[in-house]
Structure 1
Amino acid sequence: MNRPRLGFQIPCRLPASRIAALARGAERAGFDQVWLVEDCFFAGGIAASATALAATERIGVGIGILPAVARNAAFTAMEVAALAEAHPGRFTAGLGHGMREWMRQIGAAPASPLTALAEHLDAVRRLLAGETVTADGRYVRLDGVRLEFPPEVPPPVVAGVRGPRSLEVSGRHADGTVLAEPVTPAYLASARASIARGRVGLDRPHTITAYTLFHADDDLDRARDAMRPALAGPVADPAWAAHLADVDLGPRSEEITALPEAERAAALPADWIDRLSACGPPERCLERVRETHAAGADTVVLCPVGEPEEQLARAAALPALLTG
């Protein structure tokens, strides 16, 4: 495995005016990457990434993810190429399905999300590589399109996906996979197996980036309490089913997930919180990061719960400790 890398996520639910300072802070602390999220209807992912790249000098910047179907593949490639050419070797472009309800809301929900994602990944990767692309797919139709300024160093194009079939698409059509939180060792093993099925016959590298909910506090109980609201909704969300399918949460799992959300937050067992997040004193959070790396993640991205500036300050020592 490559040297373990550590990233820090800048939450989408922040005004864009706070992106630059957070990106600079992550760079000063020695993080390898900063990741941004394009959720409806916050700051656009390309603009947010450009802000982070322009405010920093060395740190990698990833967007995880851009909903593939929200943009024409050629225009996605144009935007990504501009950032990659201006900041060579520093940008990673993530594409994914996008949340189904949001895609319906904007009139862009495809009948076949798997086909749509595969076609977009292929077209964007080929355009960034400088190819002239003609495609007559179900969702991507291009007629002799070639970028005028393909980047000298084509950036990785990764897929942000969850379930087994989507992970196979990522293995076949992307340069890497971004796994949304929570990423337990059991889920990571299952995801890697699905990705491997898609990679049969391929020999190009494929990186895995694991998002991890994070709250550092020297008081473990206080850290767990801060994490409870962030976990209470998702543990009962069908979208999390893939993450929890291989995780044994014990005999009370159905009883707890059936509670109203506020009661569910209070009832979450401490071991659930510990298994589904990195929380507590920084050195304890570091153990979780190392565990995730050991299970097969190339990069672990800390997704702060609470004020991101405060959590970044508490995490500032982790990059040096991880590689020291």
Structure 2
Amino acid sequence: MTETAENALTFSARIGSHIGVRDLAAKARFVEDSGFDQVWVGNDLFGEPGLVSLAAIAMSTDRIKFGSGVIDPVSLHPVQIAMFASGLQELSGDRFLLGLGAGSDVFYSWAGLTPPPPVTRTRQAVLAIQELLAGRSPAGVAGVAEGWLPQAKLRFLRPTPIYIGAMGPKMLELTGKYADGALPLCLPPRHITGVIEQIGAGAAKAGRTLDELDIAACIWCSISDDRDEARWYLARHIALYSGSLSTAALVANGLDPEEFARTQALMLDDREDDAIASVTDSMLELGIAGGPNDVIEQCSALIEAGVKHVSFGPPMGPDTMASVRILGEKVFPALREQHHTKGI
């Protein structure tokens, strides 16, 4: 059975760089050469210069689709976002994917910004940008912020798919109602089942189906030919974020918050090695880790559960680009063959 566009698998990478734009663009090219379908880069306030990086990626790659993961509608006005999206589409030959998100209230406070609540500001932006990219003014559209005038139309526009970075139930429902794609961070990966259900509920309210959305299961993945090394890097990543995870979310997914509290206490006491060693097998369920066969097995379970798009993100492994190569050479062919054979 030949895969069609409807049932084909999509693999993407979420990458960053602490060196600079040129380094990130080179990484994106390597990701493309390794057989990925999409590459996503950040644009957090006070973080990497994502818009510049996106332009560099557009000019450094030929085939791969690339996206912003994510642009916020507070530090950039929706009109500017629509303008940048149109420009990146034109520059890349329509390979750009516009990832939007609510952004961080912490970062906004640093800049003296006081935006509307996360779901409100995201909804207002998505609807406004959709109108602008369709050549219309957002004036008078239900759900859009007040103040737009009828003459608020773009002079240069290029239709662009809109993805929403969503985690909570209200944002997931919003995604199902309005977006072309979703970027939910799935901690643990099995959380994607509930995510799909919540997005589906939002889609149904808008008279849509899940087939109309590209839902990326954004997972933490650490892969290396050395299985123990890969697991260590995921453990380190979990230790670093042990104090930032929602207790309610941990409990809901059958994880023990006390284990994470113990690890966080060790981190706060500057005992990083002990903190990493304290990460248990159950805590490692927050991500996917191991050698190629381990990752194939765990990703196969996601695909059998209905996932069509797996997005691999940090920690990735001891060498991010080596991990990208292993995924492209050893993992993707196996997953695609299994998918093709089973006719999923």
TM-score of the aligned structures, taking structure 2 as reference length: 0.84
Please tell me whether residue 259 in structure 1 is matched to residue 259 in structure 2. no
Q: In the TM superposition, what are the counterparts of 1:128-277 in structure 2 within 5 Å?
A: 128-135=133-140, 139=145, 141-143=147-149, 144-151=151-158, 154-185=159-190, 187-199=191-203, 200-203=205-208, 205-238=212-245, 240-241=246-247, 243-250=249-256, 253=259, 256=262, 259-261=265-267, 262=272, 263-273=274-284, 275-277=285-287
CA 18–94 in structure 1, closer or farther in 2 if over 3 Å, else same: same
Please tell me whether residue 41 in structure 1 is matched to residue 46 in structure 2. yes
Question: C-alpha distance in 1, partners of 2:302/2:255?
Answer: 18
Q: Which has the higher contact order (CA 8 A, sep 6+)?
A: 1
CA 175–211 in structure 1, closer or farther in 2 if over 3 Å, else same: same
Asked if 2 retains the 8 angstrom alpha-carbon contact of 1:183 and 1:243, the reply is: no
1:251 positional shift: 8.4
CA 140–20 in structure 1, closer or farther in 2 if over 3 Å, else same: farther
Q: What runs of 5+ residues in structure 2 fail to find an aligned partner?
A: 1-5, 338-344
Asked if 2 retains the 8 angstrom alpha-carbon contact of 1:12 and 1:37, the reply is: no
1:84 positional shift: 1.3
Amino acid at match of 2:255: L
1:183 positional shift: 4.5
Amino acid at match of 1:246: A
Aligned counterpart in structure 2 of residue 307 of structure 1, from 319, 323, 327: 319
Amino acid at match of 1:244: L
CA 112–314 in structure 1, closer or farther in 2 if over 3 Å, else same: same
Asked if 2 retains the 8 angstrom alpha-carbon contact of 1:121 and 1:173, the reply is: yes
Amino acid at match of 2:276: A
Asked if 1 retains the 8 angstrom alpha-carbon contact of 2:228 and 2:290, the reply is: yes
CA 197–13 in structure 1, closer or farther in 2 if over 3 Å, else same: farther
Tell me the secondary structure at the aligned position of residue 220 of structure 2: strand
CA 57–309 in structure 1, closer or farther in 2 if over 3 Å, else same: same
Asked if 1 retains the 8 angstrom alpha-carbon contact of 2:137 and 2:148, the reply is: no
Tell me the secondary structure at the aligned position of residue 260 of structure 1: helix
1:242 positional shift: 6.5
TM-score of the aligned structures, taking structure 1 as reference length: 0.89
In the alignment, what sits opposite 1:9? Answer: 14
Aligned counterpart in structure 2 of residue 316 of structure 1, from 305, 328, 340: 328
Structure with higher strand content: 1
In the alignment, what sits opposite 1:298? Answer: 308
Question: C-alpha distance in 2, partners of 1:258/1:164?
Answer: 27
Amino acid at match of 1:271: S
Q: What runs of 5+ residues in structure 1 fail to find an aligned partner?
A: none
CA 233–47 in structure 1, closer or farther in 2 if over 3 Å, else same: same
